[in-house]
Amino acid sequence: MVGYDNKARAESVLAAAEASGEHYGNGLPMIASENIISPMVRKATNSDLHGRYAEGLPGKRYYQGCDDFDDIESLGISLAKSVFNANFANIQSTSGTVSNIAALKALTKPGDKISAVSTADGGHISHARMGAVGLRGLDLHTYPWDEDRMEPDVDAACSMIRDLEPQLALVGQSVFLFPTPLQEMADAAHEVGARVMYDGAHVLGLIAGGQFQDPLREGADVMTGSSHKTFPGPQGGFLISDSDDEKFHRRLNSAIFPGTNSSYHLHHVAGKVVALAEFAEFGVDYARDIVVNAKAFGGAMAAEGFDVLAEGRGYTASHQILTRHGGQDSGAGAKAAKLLEDAGIITNMNMLPGDTKAMAPSGLRLGVQELTRVGMGVEEMKIVANLYARVLLKHEEPSEVKKDVSLLKEKHQTVHYCFEPGPAYP
Ligand SMILES: Cc1ncc(COP(=O)(O)O)c(C=O)c1O
């Protein structure tokens, strides 16, 4: 465009990207859906594959020039089957949401009934009418919720499934503290002829590391997920199943391509495959350390005087904890998140049971998967909890606390649980 310095605009993008790296590198990133990639994954995602196309499956392509990528994707499929202990894996999806759209396409027809966790109880927007469920034209019914246990009320949810007779029972959520009572719900769903879909976006790394639940053995016909949350790869998704029915495999593959993707970001797939290889080597240790840290962080926050949800269940069995900072719909979560950001602690506000306003919730959802990946352990969890208390309970000036946040983070600049540990925030 004439009249603008477009080179300066382009440079400003690079400068902002660098500033973002510094911001996260000096701070404490605790958004439960994020992670950092390893140096080897970074090399793969920055490779020539960025510009390439490979529609179809390895060996059956619409484009020439795919032989090298075929080797990568074939290795990735076999690694994903072994990491997730599954008979089928499609690693092409460009995000968890795209995996969900594809699974809904494969498993339902417009007008079908679906049961899922409501967004107010922690379900993801793709499980809602405003998201993928609405896009597929499904008739949504949400499970009764047990606020003390922070999971579907298992007896009421099973009765609901038996009465409703949905075509698909979807479980899993974004606020995911404890394993879903899946076996019981899957039994009820299968009794009425429904398929079961488990959205493991958040907890995929914990599942693959054997630290959460085993959805494919507990009755899920399909598991979807993101490749960049507790599974520490580049942004993308997975579609996994333990079915040995090849017709079903074809249905799942064609829901990804041509159903919902054309180009599927080959550089990210290559990064995913490196991440799968690293996970096969280090994933069990990483998943175990995340859960140990999350439990320790929940305990440390409670000891500092915070209201941490699910105290009776040990606060969490995943990478997340939930804290309450004021009354229902008070917006206290939003205010806390802002003060913490001023102190260099990056979190997100979250609705808690009873809240009805998404933009004025009373809580925070906090994840420890990234702090764990840069080498923090139980002792650091106590220090981090104390930093929260200084900002939110002792009302210290956030800019003062920020100095101690950076001092702590200075010692944690290396990505661990990977083949070539290196800079976390290059
Ligand atoms: C339960 C759940 N499903 C799906 C997604 C979407 O994943 P993505 O952001 O990779 O599209 C999320 C995102 O946080 C999620 O929490």
pLDDT in tens, 14-69: 999 999 999 999 999 999 999 999 999 999 999 999 999 999 999 999 999 999 99
Which atom of ligand 1 approaches the CA of 236 most closely? 10
Q: How far is the CA of 322 from the centre of ligand 1 (A)?
A: 18
What is the three-state SS of 50-81?
Answer: HHCCCCEECCEECCCCCHHHHHHHHHHHHHHH
Whole-prediction pTM value?
Answer: 0.97
Task: List the domains of the chain with CATH numbers.
Answer: 41-276 (3.40.640.10)
- For ligand 1, is residue 365 a contact (CB within 6 Å)? no
- Calculate what percentage of the chain has a pLDDT beyond 70: 100
Q: How far is the CA of 204 from the centre of ligand 1 (A)?
A: 11
Q: What is the pLDDT of residue 381?
A: 98
pLDDT tens track for 380-411: 999 999 999 999 999 999 999 999 999 999 99
- For ligand 1, is residue 173 a contact (CB within 6 Å)? yes
Q: How far is the CA of 185 from the centre of ligand 1 (A)?
A: 22
With 80 as the cut, is the pLDDT of residue 2 above it?
Answer: no
Q: What is the pLDDT of residue 1?
A: 65
With 80 as the cut, is the pLDDT of residue 415 above it?
Answer: yes
Q: How far is the CA of 207 from the centre of ligand 1 (A)?
A: 16
Tokens of 167: 């075509």
Question: What is the pLDDT averaged over residues 331-347?
Answer: 98
Q: What is the pLDDT of residue 3?
A: 82
Do residues 201 and 173 make contact, with C-beta atoms less than 8 angstroms apart? no
**Strand pairing partners for 240?**
89, 223
- For ligand 1, is residue 319 a contact (CB within 6 Å)? no
Query: Rounded to an integer, what distance in angstroms lies between the CA atom of residue 140 and that of residue 303?
Result: 40
pLDDT tens track for 152-191: 999 999 999 999 999 999 999 999 999 999 999 999 999 9
- For ligand 1, is residue 260 a contact (CB within 6 Å)? no
Do residues 69 and 272 make contact, with C-beta atoms less than 8 angstroms apart? no
User: Is cis: bond before 258, omega within 30 of 0?
Assistant: yes
Which atom of ligand 1 approaches the CA of 235 most closely? 10
Counting ligand 1 atoms within 8 A of each CB, the residue from 31, 92, 94, 97 with the most, and so the one to mutate, is 97
- For ligand 1, is residue 97 a contact (CB within 6 Å)? yes
With 70 as the cut, is the pLDDT of residue 120 above it?
Answer: yes
Tokens of 66: 């795919």
Q: How far is the CA of 211 from the centre of ligand 1 (A)?
A: 20
Counting ligand 1 atoms within 8 A of each CB, the residue from 104, 124, 127, 264 with the most, and so the one to mutate, is 124
- For ligand 1, is residue 172 a contact (CB within 6 Å)? yes
Reference 204, options 178, 230, 240; nearest CA is 230
Query: Rounded to an integer, what distance in angstroms lies between the CA atom of residue 42 and that of residue 156?
Result: 46
Which atom of ligand 1 approaches the CA of 173 most closely? 1
Q: How far is the CA of 102 from the centre of ligand 1 (A)?
A: 14
Mean confidence (pLDDT) of the chain: 97
Q: How far is the CA of 313 from the centre of ligand 1 (A)?
A: 25
Do residues 323 and 296 make contact, with C-beta atoms less than 8 angstroms apart? no
